Amino acid sequence: MRYENGSLRKEEYFYCRMEEVMKKAQVIIDKEYIVSSIDKRIYGSFIEHLGRAVYEGIYQPESPFADEQGFRKDTLELVKECNVPIVRYPGGNFVSSYRWEDGVGPKEKRPSQVDLAWQVVETNQFGLNEFTDWAKKAGTEVMMAVNLGTRGIQESKELLEYCNFKGGTQMSDLRKEHGYEAPHNIKTWCLGNEMDGPWQIGNKTAVEYARLAHETGKAMKILDPSIELVACGSSNSHMPTFGDWEATVLDECYDTVDYVSMHQYYGNADNDSASFLASSVDLDQFITTVASICDYVKGKHHGSKNINISLDEWNVWYHSNEADKKLEKWIQKPHQLEDVYNFEDALLVGSMLITMLRHADRVKIGCLAQLVNVIAPIMTSDTGAWRQTIFYPYMHAATLGQGTVLNTIVKSPVYEAKKHGEAPYLDCVVVDNGEKEEVVIFAVNKDLEEDMEVTLDLRQYAGYRVQEHIVMQHDDLKAVNTEADPDNVVPKSSGNARVEDGVLNVVFGKTSWNVIRLAR
Ligand code: AHR
């Protein structure tokens, strides 16, 4: 297609230049090659009695935004927008010295207590019944944690009896006396929180925790065999006991528990964005290792049951670390862990969601930590609520990522990150929503400099066309949303994806979060 004199037409020249410059990647799927159906709980979140998560976040009776129960309606709206399927409660570190009985019954009789985990005063004006009411209004399920730090089998059994037993016993009748005739029927329960961490009140060795978790879980399942139990795994993959902890705990608890927890937070304190965005490689490795340990224990027990993963705390967390060191102690609802998230944080949150989905056969529960004000996608003040940057990839995945995950082969150029080593520029996963007859592609281009041309053969999906290509991109990786400027970083339906001859062609802009919806 050259002119007779051998020179290129203008558009040809442009195309060739693009060919030279633009990175290319290929995504390969087969509609029969399924990783797993998606457990909707993978898009869960977390509310802890910490900072302003409960008080001022979801509950503020004195606020003009409060409903008749004191719940913030503006927060509820944003939670519903995210379609949050399950919320873990009441902690976190908080749960390890919490007495759940302090938070039920007449509010005027509830005691104020010191919270040793966060060194604040807890008034107990909000407790488990308020939380179950709030969860109903938010259209979400409750995931309850029991205290295995300062307490044990008896208190956990009583809490379960209070929540799930039909009536005619001391605890179930107490619930009725408190105005809740029907049981709460909470299905998913955490056996403590981060019990491997020296910072945890009641920190234990793996052997000590394993015995307590097994005996507590055993008692709880005798009382209500319909529940599912999560044993504590390591607090993160860098814990010195990581690996041994999981093996020891699961060996003891194999018959009792259904999931092992994983917690993982990342930060960019060194301001090395390429490494920061490569953190999804680390998460991928972490999940693979924990799944292998689960399978080792299954094999050792000659078992038929898979232990799956509850990634019940994950996020970016580092922005607020310095400010938190200066906080006054033993006050109520301080501005604690109030990370203000920037655009690159949203990219990593997107990549972490993609990583979790790629492991949907093992990661059944995930909790973005947390939901409101505390390392959260949603922020509140006395004058309103707004969406942080990380709100968007979370909301997109939770609302559009339903159905089955396809085994998504990504042939992408790679780079060498200072931390985490080799990382692909492209993170991608394809979800087939059979019910809606829709295919959804989630993708992050982590390249700090260049756009990327991507192709995906879609011929098995005859007639499918691009319905929408949502893009979230910003020139400034450090751009944030604030109350004064809440829409500085927002997604737009502005992408260029198109299907031609059964092949999806798309250019993913440098450092961008992309969602492509395909249907007939
Ligand atoms: O989410 C904040 C804290 O992080 C949780 O309380 C704890 O479990 C983790 O260390």
Pocket residue to mutate for ligand 1, from 115, 235, 263, most atoms within 8 A of Cβ: 263
Listed in sequence order, the residues at least 6 apart from 100 whose beta carbon sits closer than 8 Å to its beta carbon are 90, 127, 128, 147, 155, 159, 162
Cβ–ligand 1 distance for 370 under 6 Å, the answer: yes
Give the span between the Cα atoms of 48 and 317, in whole angstroms: 15
pLDDT one digit per residue (tens) for the chain, 520 residues: 333 333 434 444 344 444 556 999 999 999 999 999 999 999 999 999 999 999 999 999 999 999 999 999 999 999 999 999 999 999 999 999 999 999 999 999 999 999 999 999 999 999 999 999 999 999 999 999 999 999 999 999 999 999 999 999 999 999 999 999 999 999 999 999 999 999 999 999 999 999 999 999 999 999 999 999 999 999 999 999 999 999 999 999 999 999 999 999 999 999 999 999 999 999 999 999 999 999 999 999 999 999 999 999 999 999 999 999 999 999 999 999 999 999 999 999 999 999 999 999 999 999 999 999 999 999 999 999 999 999 999 999 999 999 999 999 999 999 999 999 999 999 999 999 999 999 999 999 999 999 999 999 999 999 999 999 999 999 999 999 999 999 999 999 999 999 999 999 999 999 999 999 999 9
Place of tokens 């109350």: 483
Report d(CA 189, CA 91) in Å as an integer: 12
Determine whether the shortest distance from the Cβ of 93 to ligand 1 is under 6 A. yes
Closest residue (by CA) to atom 9 of ligand 1? 92
- CATH number for the domain whose boundaries are 10-35+406-519: 2.60.40.1180
* Tens-place pLDDT, residues 13-50: 344 444 556 999 999 999 999 999 999 999 999 999 99
The model's pTM: 0.95
Q: Which of 194, 246, 252, 438 is catalytic?
A: 194
CATH of domain 38-402: 3.20.20.80
Torsion region of 239: left, alpha or beta (phi above 0 gives left; psi -120 to 50 gives alpha): beta
- Single out the residue of 251, 148, 145 nearest to residue 196, CA to CA: 148
Domain range summary for the chain, segments of one domain joined by +: 10-35+406-519, 38-402
| pLDDT tens digits for range 46-98 | 999 999 999 999 999 999 999 999 999 999 999 999 999 999 999 999 999 99
Q: Is residue 313 annotated as part of the catalytic site, yes or no? A: yes
Contact by Cβ (8 Å): 66, 60: yes
**Interval between CA 313 and ligand 1 midpoint (Å):** 7
